[in-house]
A and B are shown apart, each in its own frame.
Chain A
Amino acid sequence: MADQGGSQHGIARTSRVRTEEQKRRDLERIAKYRELEDQVRAHIARGEYAPEVFQLTSKLLRLNPEYYTIWNVRRRCLISGSFSRPLAGSSCLKASSSTSPSATTTTSSTSCSSSSSAATRPAPGSPTAGTSGTTADPAAISTTPDAPGKEDSAATAAAAETQDLSIIKSELTFTIPLLLESPKCYWIWSYRLWILQQAIARLRPAVARRIWEEELGLASKMLGKDRRNFHAWGYRRHVVQQLESATLEGSSMVEAEFAYTDKMINTDLSNFSAWHSRSKLIPRLLDERGADDAARRAFLDKELAQIRNALNVGPEDQSLWYYHQFLILNLVAPEQHPAMTLNFTREDRVAYLTREIDEIKELLEDYDDVKLIYEGLFEYTLYLCQLEERQPDEIERADLVAWLGKLKQLDPMRNGRWADLEKEYGLKE
């Protein structure tokens, strides 16, 4: 299975023979670690999720943030004691708020919170799961004074929110150093999202919103350290989705997110993650701007100019070519990618594509040994014929044969692919 936690990446191979001193140190660390683990397990076995256990999980997770069961113990501690009230099904809250439990008809079960054995826990498919379960557990309500006055209950609610807010903030702080040290650890990211989901379930929307807003800063910080970290990109997407949602009284952030891709691309043209994000944002961006045909065309012109300039500097960069392909798909596959070329005529498409092919041919004057240029020319020329519903003419055919020859010469690793193309398009000399 695809779980990379715990595997060694990029650590130099050293002699695996340890000195006596190293062995002794290892044994000490093991003893300390296992003692901590034993303490947590003893509490769990007794069904205890007290503050003391919570403190132990902090220690253990600092030593080993990959230990997912301990993150779960920490959640159970919060649900069963620290938070102001348990939520029905709160142990099963989805990271995504889009889920609804009503569609399920699977086995019923008892309350999710603070049961002593993980073995009997219900899965999210159970009726207690999902985010609609935000009403207080009756058992919890019964612990508040009988028939409280209005002011009392308002004060109680305010105190509860203060308590929950403080826990949520403290948990977010706890995970920061762990994330900085293990930025690719799935479990930390997922725990953090769970805490944020608690903010939605337990705090007033305006208060929860302020918590979520700060997460954009974290995503930017993590992407500043590693521009391609797909955990951080995914986290950013999720945070933005939530901030845009009605739950957090939000509105579209597509302009700001698009500007963010600009910023990331300007820092590093080779950042495909940013180009990818751009490709996903553009359709929404144009719709929300209410862009008419002319505006869409102008937008495409600007994107093409930008990527062409970039290709002039770095024609060997795959990231740039992939984005260029995305733009070209808007011309040749409008049924899948209509955003920028919705009302283009066939003549428009042909004119644009022809111009791109000519521009790429000009690249050859400066770079005659970059295989991606020949690959682009080959592909786009075939697209052109496809658009015009015709076979390549004599000149094009000669070009295709020549470019394929260059590809074989410059990129023999992929000879099997070049051979397939040669056969498919009848280009054998």
Chain B
Amino acid sequence: MSQSFTQLPEELQLATSAHVKYIQSLDTRKDEYDYWLTEHLRLNGLYWGLTALHLLGHPDALPRAETIYFVLSCQHESGGFGAAPGHDAHMLSTVSAVQILATVDALDELETRGKGKAQVGQYIANLQNRETGTFAGDEWGEEDTRFLYGAFNALSLLGLLDLIDVDKAVNHIAACANFDGGYGVNPGAESHSGQIFTCVAALTIAGRQDLIDKERLGRWLSERQIAGGGLNGRPEKKEDVCYSWWVLSSLEMIGKTHWIDKDQLIAFILRCQDTEKGGISDRPGDMVDVWHTVFGVAGLSLLRYPGLQPVDEVYCMPKSTTARLLGR
């Protein structure tokens, strides 16, 4: 995709302004039942929307001060964040909180108005299973490589990775590897693109890519692309825009993005847009949501679609943010 924006045929145009408006509208839908049913995802949703806006080149489309205020209003004494005020603290919302504050360059607000960076780090570190190295999502103990990645992501952004036993966590990831080169939710589980992203990204953050069987994994990942250009999450499953991100970013991390047909994937993601009202869906013609919108846009960014800000394939955040914080 080397053409400039305006030269692209209509079906290859990204409906940027519609997507921006769609994301801006998300917090105004209080008269819709779904708005209330999805409150347990509010902080994640803010991260998804904010990241999409930054990648679309509209970083100021959400008000910064209110964004910071909302994030801090979700924090508990423990340092962890809930999905919204009144929701229990959880790893998933805590990671989103850190990512949002990092993106709007407001991590310092944790010190001045929040419970402090160290307390956030401690909340996350306390969720590590010191015996196996993996992480729980919260005090109730569900364990999953998603939470392990979340811990690595947030703690590295905070510069607090030394609070946890990284080696043990890395050993746990190694135990999740399968003969096909992929990784599952926990040892014994089937390879799954989402979990592959979390494991490969965590190993990348830990500087332990040497543990990855790149040839075998790259081959498995590249086989996810099916007729029509979309990617699926496991063998013999349907394609889905969110896997454009999990699979593609994993391929990027192991240097094998060229093993799939990028132009066909771009066309597939663009076919999933609602060009009129904005937003991206899992497959063409389905209902849009902010989750598929961010992963669609992030996928396009990784595919060097013209006019988008570069995305960091390990963090799913603007590259400018991870460059500023981590020198990546």
Q: How far is the CA of A276 from the CA of B10 in the complex (A)?
A: 43
Q: B237 near A: Cβ within 8 Å? A: yes
Interface residues of A in 300-355 (CB under 8 A from B): 317-319, 322, 325-326, 329, 336-337
Q: B178 near A: Cβ within 8 Å? A: yes
A12-B287, A94-B141, A322-B235 given; A123·B78 CB < 8 A? yes
B282: A residues at CB distance < 8 A: 7-10
Of the candidates A10, A33, A186, A276, the one whose C-beta lies within 8 Å of that of B191 is: A276
A92-B139, A117-B77, A413-B264 given; A68·B288 CB < 8 A? no
Chain A contact residue count (CB 8 A cutoff) = 89
Of the candidate stretches B32-40, B105-113, B204-212, B303-311, the one touching chain A is B32-40
Q: How far is the CA of A426 from the CA of B218 in the complex (A)?
A: 20
Q: How far is the CA of A228 from the CA of B95 in the complex (A)?
A: 29
Q: Is the CB of A92 within 8 A of B40?
A: no
Interface residues of B in 191-215 (CB under 8 A from A): 191-192, 194-195, 197-198
Of the candidates A5, A122, A413, the one whose C-beta lies within 8 Å of that of B40 is: A5
Contact with A along B159-199 (1 / 0, CB 8 A): 00000000000000000001110001110111110110110
Of the candidates B83, B96, B141, B289, the one whose C-beta lies within 8 Å of that of A8 is: B289
Q: Is the CB of B141 within 8 A of A95?
A: yes
Q: B261 near A: Cβ within 8 Å? A: yes
Q: Is the CB of A123 within 8 A of B139?
A: yes
Of the candidates A41, A279, A417, the one whose C-beta lies within 8 Å of that of B259 is: A417
Contact with B along A81-125 (1 / 0, CB 8 A): 000000000011111101110011011000010000111111111
CB distance from A308 to the nearest CB of B (A): 19
Q: Is the CB of B285 within 8 A of A104?
A: no
Q: Is the CB of B291 within 8 A of A67?
A: no
A121: B residues at CB distance < 8 A: 78, 89, 139
Q: A11 near B: Cβ within 8 Å? A: yes
B130: A residues at CB distance < 8 A: 103-104, 125
A2: B residues at CB distance < 8 A: 146, 149, 194-195, 197-198, 246
Q: Is the CB of A416 within 8 A of B258?
A: yes
B128: A residues at CB distance < 8 A: 125
Closest to B47 in A: A1
Q: B82 near A: Cβ within 8 Å? A: yes
Closest to B224 in A: A318
Q: B274 near A: Cβ within 8 Å? A: yes
B179: A residues at CB distance < 8 A: 279, 325-326, 329, 336-337
Q: Is the CB of B236 within 8 A of A30?
A: no
CB distance from B291 to the nearest CB of A (A): 4
6 intermolecular pairs with C-beta atoms under 8 Å apart: A29-B33, A37-B36, A68-B88, A91-B139, A125-B125, A416-B259
Contacts A33-B37, A194-B141 aside, 18 further interface pairs with beta carbons under 8 A come to A3-B92, A6-B289, A63-B37, A66-B38, A103-B130, A106-B126, A107-B122, A120-B78, A123-B136, A124-B126, A190-B140, A234-B185, A272-B236, A279-B178, A318-B223, A337-B179, A415-B261, A417-B256
Seen from chain B, the residues whose Cβ lies within 8 Å of a Cβ on chain A are 31-33, 36-41, 44, 47, 76-78, 82-83, 86-90, 92, 95-96, 122-123, 125-132, 136-143, 146, 149-150, 178-180, 184-186, 188-192, 194-195, 197-198, 218-219, 222-223, 225, 229, 234-237, 240, 242, 246, 256, 258-261, 264, 274, 277, 281-283, 285-289, 291-292
